[in-house]
Structure 1
Amino acid sequence: MTLKTTLAAAAAGALALTAGLAALPAAAHQHGHHARSAPTIVDVAASTGIHTTLVAAVKAAGLVDTLSGPGPFTVFAPTDTAFAKLPDGTVATLVKPANKPALTKILTYHAVAGKVTRADLVALIGQHRGAATITTIAGEKLTARLSGDKIVITDEQGRATAVTKADVNTSNGVIHVTDGVFLPA
């Protein structure tokens, strides 16, 4: 349970970082303007001010180069507030070098290969009669459903997390900001 909690916290942190970056595209654009047409997922997350935990987790897991690479990736990015909902000490434990494999699994549980927009998710949910299964880079499953006009993602432990801001476009994919951290089974 501690390992799962730790992994979930790490993944949430990574997602939060991505979401934070999505929230501040103008600031991120200023930093990466000359290098590329749009900031990467990591650039955006680092610029938001609400994804500090996620960015720290991405760095601790050694995933900065991957999430700055060509992708494309879809990242469900938990905010710092989402990480703060985890049990005390979870994040601190996950970012320790000895827990890098668990942290990496949690963070990659928040990422999907390819660019999956809100419209794509809504279409998949409709095609699958209200519940679409998504396979993450970690090889684990997430389930997407609609609750009114909100997309709700349920992890393998049955924890439901809402997408609070969708379609934050980056040069290497898209970020969907979430209010919770996913934990693999």
Structure 2
Amino acid sequence: MADIVETAAKAGNFKKLLQVAEAAQIIDTLKSPSFFTLFAPTDEAFAKLPERTLDSLLQDIPKLKKIVAYHIAFGDVRSDDLVQIEEAETLEGSILAIESSNDGITVNDAKILQTDILADNGVIHVIDAVLMPAMVAGR
């Protein structure tokens, strides 16, 4: 197997995520031997962001780093675990709300499209939206 970064790169639909993780200097964290769970927005999810949002974030690395870190939870949290928990602590320091229903599993307002893409140092769950921590979103 490969680490989370290599696994995401092989999947092919996380080019923007890997680009922002690189810019935010979080790639090394995702390559480390520590176990993480990555809630990975697809390239389509990034395309849903308002126009120029990504460009402005790439100019504000501290803010970008908070956003990328908000997609990473500590530990190897698989789908079996997701249906039993209501929240997960992120690398950014905030908490993600996890909700399981007959319609599937959501993380905050993002729907999980695919679960349990396994890597040597954790797991990737594919989501359909970019998550924004409250302090960055200005809520």
TM-score (norm 1): 0.70
Q: 1:77 aligns with which of 37, 40, 60?
A: 40
- CA positional deviation for 1:49: 2.1
Partner residue of 2:81 out of 120, 127, 132: 120
Q: 1:52-74 CA distances to partner (integer Å, 9 max, x unpaired)? A: 10010011011111110101000
**Percentage of pairs with the same residue:** 41
Higher gyration radius (CA):
1
Cα deviations by residue, 1:16-71 (Å, 9 ceiling, x for unpaired)? xxxxxxxxxxxxxxxxxxxxxx1111001122221110010011011111110101
Unaligned runs of 5+ in 2: 135-139
Structure 1 position 168 matched with structure 2 position 120: no
**Per residue, is there more strand in 1 or in 2?**
2
SS at 1:83's partner residue?
Answer: helix
Which residue in 2 is equivalent to 1:134? 88
RMSD (Å), alpha carbons: 1.0
Runs of 5+ in structure 1 lacking a partner? 1-37, 125-131, 155-159
- Look up the equivalent residue of 1:89 and give its one-letter code: R
Alpha-carbon distance between aligned partners in 1 of 2:103 and 2:56, rounded to the nearest angstrom: 36
Query: In 1, Cα distance between the equivalents of 2:116 and 2:34?
Result: 16
Deviations 1:79-105 (A, max 9, x none): 000011110011112122xx1110110
1:2-151 matched pairs, under 5 angstroms: 38-96=1-59, 99-124=60-85, 132-151=86-105
CA apart distance, 1:149: 4.8
Which deviations, in whole Å up to 9, do the C-alpha atoms of 1:107-164 show, x marking residues without a partner?
110001110011011122xxxxxxx12211111111111231510111xxxxx11110
Query: 2:82, 2:100 within 8 Å by CA — same for their partners in 1?
Result: no
Partner Cα distance (1:89, 1:81) in 2: 15
- Counterparts of 1:56 and 1:177 in 2: how far apart (Å)? 16
CA distance in 1, matches of 2:26, 2:103: 32
Find the residue that maps to 1:43 and give its secondary structure.
helix
